Amino acid sequence: MTALDAHSGLTTALRFPEGFRWGTATAAYQIEGAAAEDGRTPSIWDTFSRTPGKVRNGDTGDIAADHYHRVDEDVALMRRLGVTDYRFSVAWPRVQPTGRGPAVRKGLDFYRRLADTLLEAGIRPVVTLYHWDLPQELEDAGGWPHRETAYRFAEYAGITADALGDRVATWTTLNEPWCAAFLGYGNGVHAPGRTSDLAALRAAHHLNLAHGLAARALRGALPGSAEVSLTLNLHAVRARSQAPEDLDAARRIDAVGNRIFLDPVFHGRLPEDLVRDTASVTDWSFVRDGDLATTAAPIDSLGINYYSPAVVAAGASESPSPWAGAERHVRFEPAPGPRTAMDWPVDADGLHELLVRLRDELPGVPLVITENGAAYDDYADPSGNVKDPERVAYLHAHLAAVHRALADGADVRGYFLWSLLDNFEWAYGYSKRFGIVHVDFATQRRTLKDSALWYAEVIARGGLGEA
């Protein structure tokens, strides 16, 4: 019996298609550090993390995993694991410190060197342009609720594509715009920490607009063979019961959690029920003529970030709520099953449900799992090993769900495990560990966890189970 079989308990192989992309992923603010080096200026997360009470233990991303100075070491780890792709984000304030005007050469040089190092290791670089680190100067000018921010983002996208387009073939405009809009401006648990339903809805629209404008800018700067994408954290929403009021609660969350992005991006329209649900907040007059044609700019694939499902019932959410227009009508119920260190339920069926839904609703759109993983309270034992069987079980179950979706006709092209490294986990600071590589933040020593060794075997085999 191999180590893989010992972890999985499988005797039947689950093979993935030839050319399936096996990757891992990170985000700039969570790992880079070097927060004030080489011209980088503060982002909204620098400001937010320095605001007392916003981040656990007062942690900041000033040093994080020090990836800015440890690129060679981290790419060598990826090469050892055998990943085919690496998804990383570009820090907007490192490239364009004020969010306007010319780029900083040293900032672009860092990402050029990262891409070159990956290519030399046989790893395909996958760029995400926005993983929540808006330059603080743009937030001071109004942030995402302000329309002009979308145009500034398109300019930044063009600058970055001009610099990296000869090295990078896969580009994602935004990561999880729902979180940026509704956690950043709705309930304020993420940067910049505002609490306004109207600001959240305006931000959501302007993020959609920014995506469309950036997609257009990327097409103008990149070779025709380049892949342009968007990553959404779609919610696998389940009603507690088949009672009409519970089904309506699920509909409301689907509207403000999923279709607020899916409909403008893929159909060039706003969901009619979302407009009705939020009529007490806004008349949506900030959506101008031509905007929805722009948001529907064609893309080559859709990225899906999935961690756990949500169970909802009729009721009311705690205030402040990120669910604009739904907070007085929806209550979130605890989902059954084991839970991660984030207190998120473990349920791989939700990922299968999402992929099958997208198979039916977006025929012809290739799908990529751009984030999937789990935080657990793992640690290096006295011998220096990091055993994380819960994470291995989580990953195994979710990869099996992806395989089942493939068998059911979903066009899934790749899987990016979140995350390569333990990192700054947003408002949780360094208290939560998602990495398959353990980071001792005092020494920056990296240690492959058992889950990393398991994932390396999965990649080498091209799937789960026996060879």
Q: Do residues 303 and 223 make contact, with C-beta atoms less than 8 angstroms apart? A: no
DSSP label of 14: E
- Residue 19 CB-density burial (10 A; 0-12 exposed, 13-18 middle, 19+ buried): exposed
List the beta strands (DSSP E) in 131-274: 170-175, 227-232, 237-239
Q: Do residues 129 and 173 make contact, with C-beta atoms less than 8 angstroms apart? A: yes
- Give the SS3 label for residue 60: coil
- Give the SS3 label for residue 239: strand
- Give the SS3 label for residue 235: coil
Helix axis angle, 197-221 to 148-164, nearest 10°: 30
In 270-388, where does DSSP find H-type helix?
A: 272-277, 291-295, 349-361
Q: Which single residue is written with the structure tokens 């492959």?
A: 448
Q: Is 371 among the catalytic positions?
A: yes
Considering 32, 327, 371, 457, which one is annotated as catalytic? 371
* Residue 276 neighbours by CB under 8 Å, 6+ apart: none
Considering 32, 139, 176, 390, which one is annotated as catalytic? 176
- Give the SS3 label for residue 118: helix
Q: Is 361 among the catalytic positions?
A: no
- Which residue type occupies 359? R
Q: How far apart are CA 94 and CA 37, in angstroms?
A: 9
Structure tokens belonging to residue 190:
């993420």
| Closest-CA residue to 175 (of 184, 162, 167) | 184
Q: How far apart are CA 159 and CA 165, in angstroms?
A: 10
Q: How far apart are CA 423 and CA 401, in angstroms?
A: 26
Give the chain's largest Cα–Cα span: 63
Q: How many Cα atoms sit within 13 Å of 369 on the Cβ side?
A: 32
Q: Provide the annotated active-site residues.
A: 176, 371
